[in-house]
Amino acid sequence: MLQRIVTSIASNDKDNYLGSYPFINKYKENMKTNIYIIFSIALLNLSSIYSQTFEVGSINYNILNANEVEVISKPSCYDGGIVVPETVEDSGTTYNVIGIGDEAFQYCDITSIDLPNSITYIGEFAFRDCRNITSITLPSSVTSIGYAAFLYCTELTSVNIPENITVINMHTFAQCGKLTSITIPSSVTSIGTYAFSSCFSLATVNIHVTTPINITIHRFWNLDLTTIALNVPVGSESAYAAAPIWQDFGTINATLSNSSYDYELGYKLYPNPASDYISISGVEQAENYKIFNITGSKIAEGMFSRNQPINIQRFKKGVYFINFENGTALKFVKN
């Protein structure tokens, strides 16, 4: 509407009609200026609506659009245990919390963080230099992890890479000196330079990608690969044994299913995470199973039948895989 008004005033017909009246010409120019000012203010106000920030429960948020926000940094930084909600309300509007913004927790003294299933991305440097956090469980809803998101998380011992991740960016886990194992899901197609550099405690890499990803040594820069065990999908060991860099790992073990955290027969594991027992739905007949820890070591085996829970009370906290004889593998977390 404003554009049409400005265009109309500036038209040649208007100039011809009003040209012989100087005071009207002056009025016309003032009117054009005022309209442009009003139009600019309207744009600024519209922009401010979608760049507004607010704080709820000691967490700062940035409004992305009419119903979505991301967690952002705050001047005083964060500390202790952080629980990010799935939704948050401000000024009568309820927003979905969909992301962790760039540098949101950078240099903060957080000890733990609980992320909801609404989170779809982790921004660049999001957890850089969070040197007091020991583990992070990323929800399966996360589809992207930004550059150097966990750089210098020096106390981090375990972190999962969600199944929908396709790219592990440069420096994502670089300098995580206490990270003992990493699991790479079948969805990953690319690993950035220095992604796992100087992870000196790394003892196991579980990779569910059937065909080896083409990488250079810089992905695992500054590490002695001969000391690290590589667990690969069944039937892929020969391919990894012949692939550059992957062939340099100390041992190559075919212990994983052909796809990560697979539900080939409609199997579903619950609850997850679990503390005492896990159950599997979709099992129609008795099945032999084996349970492996994150390092690929077998810690339990048995036979599972429908509606029969499996006792995991004696397991230590961490990430585990239960493999069935038909090749199905499910991942679970022990609290």
DSSP 184: E
The single-letter code of the amino acid at 87 is T
Q: Name 145's bridge partners.
A: 122
Average pLDDT value for the chain: 83
Closest C-alpha to 139, from 111, 176, 164: 164
Residue 163: per-residue pLDDT: 86
The more confidently predicted of residues 236 and 70 is 70
For 305-322, write each residue's pLDDT tens digit: 766 889 999 999 888 888
Question: pTM, whole model, 2 decimals?
Answer: 0.67
- Distances 283 to 67, 289, 302, 310 between C-alpha atoms, Å: 40, 12, 15, 13
pLDDT at 153 over 90: yes
For 222-257, write each residue's pLDDT tens digit: 999 999 999 998 889 999 999 999 999 999 988 776
Residues 6+ apart with CB under 8 A from 152: 128, 129, 131, 174, 175, 176
For 165-207, write each residue's pLDDT tens digit: 999 999 999 999 999 888 898 999 999 999 999 999 999 898 9
